[in-house]
Structure 1
Amino acid sequence: MSPKGAVMICGHGSRDERAVSQFNAMVEAMKQTHLADYDVESGFLEFAHPILRDGFEKLKAMGHKKIYALPGMLFAAGHVKNDLPSEVNNFAHENPDIEVLFGRDLAIDPKLLMAAKERIEEALAGADDSVDRKDTLLMVVGRGTNDPDANSNVYKVARMLQEGMGFGRTEISYSGVAHPRVNAGLREAMKLGYKRVVVFPYFLFAGILIDRIYSHTDEVAAEFGDVEFIKAGYLKDHPMVLESFAERLTEIDTGDNNMNCQLCKYREQIIGYEGDVGTPQVGHHHHVMGIGTDGHSHDHGHHHHGHGHGHHHNHDHGHSHGHSHDHGHSHSHDHDDAKKSTGS
């Protein structure tokens, strides 16, 4: 039976072998389950192999004329809004006969909230049940980015989990870039007097950042011996995560793959980030593309051809961030027309 089509799963990449192997394991699981009827390749934006271009080229070599590109990332910050579309645009520009359709980030999703709930409950299962949920504080830890919209998503996830699971309080911290960091956030939370704290990393994969979250937790736990600290697991390859990926693919065909653009700093004047409106949609990862655990760079010289594709990322062209990245012109768009911007 011939495949339904081609799917390219786009990962962030990491210098940490655990993160890379967990991403690859998720891709393999998707191949066996939800994407069994498709030809599936994957690649990384930075720090790991294969790079994105390698995956696209493999699907091209199989003869596919339509490729669905799915970001393997939780929230739409710079990577999903700029770096990945830039890579997709480059490949599409060089292959005008191939239609490339870009899905949205996993975002805040009922299935992912269910996966998060189960990870937290798994951690609580081994704890003393004498402490009530209402006497427990949930600390949700996000990746941290320089995009306030993506950072604010962590708050929504936390609030949904607090209300859905009955925690007395929820606090937020980040593993990097944004503040508060985990140790500072936990110390602040200690002032509230809760007997138990559950630290939950809203992350897909293992890696240096997860290690940092857990070590920060241990650091603060040592200072507050009368409080119980519980480290919950991250999302990893929870079945609901795989279901969410499959849903993102379906959305591309139904036209429901709109990214939430309401507070996008590239489209609207967001306080404190006014200068980011209309930033060109170009990638920023060539110096680390393919540089990974083996220390070798394999960027194949694809330095965006120096033209940024004229995609001025205006974000004002009435788009709803349609995010199929074809906007009706199948990615063969004339790159001399700066107004044909791929919404991200």
Structure 2
Amino acid sequence: MQAAAVPARDNTDANGQDVILVVGHGSREDSGNREIREFTDAWRARRPGWRIELCFIEFAPPELNAALLAAARGARRVLVVPLILNAAGHVKMEIPEAVEGARAACPQTEILLAPHLSACDPVLAVLRRKLRGAMGTLDMPDPTTTGVVLLGRGSSDRGANGEMAKMARWLLEEGDHELVDLAFTGITWPRLEKVVQRQVLLGMRQIVVLPYYLYTGTLMQRIHRQVEHLRGQYPQVRFACTGHFGFEPEIFALMDARVEDLRAGVPDSRLPCDGCSYREIAHDLGHGHSHAHTHDHGQTHGQEDAHEHGHAHAHDHAHAHAHHGHDHPKAGEPA
């Protein structure tokens, strides 16, 4: 008779649940961090059978690396789900590095990493609804004389800026507006003021500013101040500015889908650059950011993501290996 197997050490909770770790960016303005906590609480209420935890990349506790290690030590499987719109330095470098560190420290735990929310049809649906609502507040809701400015957080990563450019193009193709332009709050160009100037010169009598932000924070506050300034600068133009959109049903549905895809082993649920050899090279060269954000970057952009200036190189290389659901240009080809 075969001897009974010695039971393995149980490193999960009593219910054997996965730990779902939401990763938020974090803000210097605590109101933004509170909203992410409120989102997490609301998601828990929608999914009472799931064990959902929260951490932040910077500016707020609990910090990513510590929270991920704690989750990995207390579960058989951890599902890391970034609550982030665009894949810039944080998503491509810091989150995967934290995952690799936790895997090395806790080899008994399976740690899976979901992609960021990305430019996709559910986010487009949110933007279109926000745009319709803004148009309803205008005196003359005529799309042919109303310009649209999709305004987001700038990045030194061209892929992140490209995702926003795709959303601006989709808004143009899915609607009747003759002008849908892209602007950034920092790091890269064009800025809001320059885009508004161009639209006014082209005859737009009304302009809708669509912030591409999930939650409030210092940048959202700055956007509303900028729009107020533009109202005074262009009294002949009617402006409408929408709010951020982190609590829309599509965002909850996207987070649900990320979890279900990881559990089902859907191929493209793997982060495109999880395990990317170039990131390992970058880390060896001293460009990694797996450490906590207590250091001084020595450069001030006045942005919450100011330190992304170090990631401009991150994906200008040609990949010899396949990335699921993420196409990189070949060497010598345009991005």
TM-score, length-normalised on structure 1? 0.76
Q: Does 1:254 align with 2:266?
A: yes
- Indicate the RMSD between aligned Cα atoms, in angstroms: 2.9
Deviation at 1:60, TM superposition (A): 3.9
Shift of 1:148: 0.7
Output one character per residue of 1:111-141: Cα deviation in whole Å (capped at 9) or x when no partner: 111111122222223222x341121110001
- Residue deviations 1:156-209 (CA, integer Å, cap 9, x gap): 111111222321211110011111122222223221110110000111110111
Say which SS state the counterpart of residue 282 (structure 2) adopts.
coil
* Aligned residues of 1:48 and 1:289 also touching (Cα < 8 A): no
Question: Is 1:210 aligned to 2:229, yes or no?
Answer: no
**CA–CA separation in structure 2 for the residues paired with 1:202 and 1:64:** 35
Q: Secondary structure at the match of 2:283?
A: coil
Distance 2:295 2:130 in 1: 32
Which residue number in structure 2 is paired with residue 141 of structure 1? 151
TM-score normalised by L of structure 2: 0.78
1:173 paired residue among 180, 183, 192: 183
Contact 2:55 2:61 in 1 (8 A): yes
In 2 relative to 1, CA 90–161 (structure 1 residues): closer, same or farther, beyond 3 Å? same
- 1:149-160 to 2 correspondence within 5 Å? 149-160=159-170
> Which among 272, 280, 285 is matched to residue 283 of structure 2?
280
Q: Is the 8 A contact 1:46 1:285 kept in 2?
A: no
Which whole-Å deviations, capped at 9, do the CAs of 1:97-124 have from their partners, x for residues lacking one? Answer: 1111000010011111111112222222
How far, CA to CA, are the matches of 2:67 and 2:217 in structure 1?
Answer: 23
Q: Is the 8 A contact 1:47 1:289 kept in 2?
A: no
Map of 1:196 onto structure 2: 206
Matches of residues 311-326 of structure 1 in structure 2 within 5 Å?
Answer: 316-321=319-324
Task: Give the letter aligned to residue 255 of structure 1.
Answer: P
Aligned ranges 1:34-53 → 2 under 5 Å: 35-53=47-65
Matched residue pairs, number?
289
Asked if structure 1 preserves the Cα contact closer than 8 Å seen for 2:209 and 2:240, the reply is yes
CA contact (8 A) 1:3 1:37 kept: no
Residue 269 of structure 2: SS of its match in structure 1? coil
Would the alpha carbon gap of residues 100 and 260 (structure 1) be closer, same or farther in structure 2, given more than 3 Å must change? closer
Partner of 1:161, secondary structure, is helix
Q: Distance in 2 between matches of 1:53 and 1:159?
A: 36
1:228 paired residue among 219, 233, 238: 238
Paired residues of 1:139 and 1:197 also in contact (CA < 8 A): yes
Q: Shift of residue 216 of structure 1?
A: 1.7
Change (3 A) 1:290 1:60: farther
Structure 2, unaligned stretches of length 5 or more?
Answer: 1-13, 297-315, 327-335
| Alignment partner, residue 126 of structure 1 | 137
Provide closer, same or farther for how the CA distance between residues 185 and 322 of structure 1 changes in structure 2, counting only shifts above 3 A.
closer
Give the alignment partner of residue 94 of structure 1, picking from 95, 105, 110.
105
Q: Does 1:19 align with 2:32?
A: yes
- 1:258-291 C-alpha deviation (Å, 9 max, x unpaired): 5568xxxx899xxxxxxx9953386437463599
In structure 2, distance between residues paired with 1:216 and 1:267:
41
- Structure 1 residues 285, 95: closer, same or farther in 2, change over 3 A? closer
Distance 1:277 1:96, change over 3 A: closer
**1:83 aligned partner, one-letter code:** E
* 3-state SS of paired residue (2:122): helix
Q: Secondary structure at the match of 2:259?
A: helix
Higher relative contact order (CA 8 A, sep 6+): 1
- Among all aligned residue pairs of Structure 1 and Structure 2, give the percentage whose two residues are the same amino acid: 25
Distance 2:93 2:219 in 1: 22
Q: 1:242 to 1:186 in 2, by over 3 A?
A: same
> Which moves more between the two structures, 214-223 or 101-110?
214-223
- Given that 2:150 and 2:181 are in contact with CA atoms closer than 8 Å, whether structure 1 keeps it comes out as yes
Q: Report matched runs for 1:29-108 at 5 Å.
A: 29-33=42-46, 35-60=47-72, 63-108=74-119
Q: Are the structure 2 counterparts of residues 221 and 260 from structure 1 closer, same or farther at C-alpha, using a change threshold of 3 Å?
A: farther
2:18 matched to which residue of 1?
5
Please tell me whether residue 116 in structure 1 is matched to residue 119 in structure 2. no
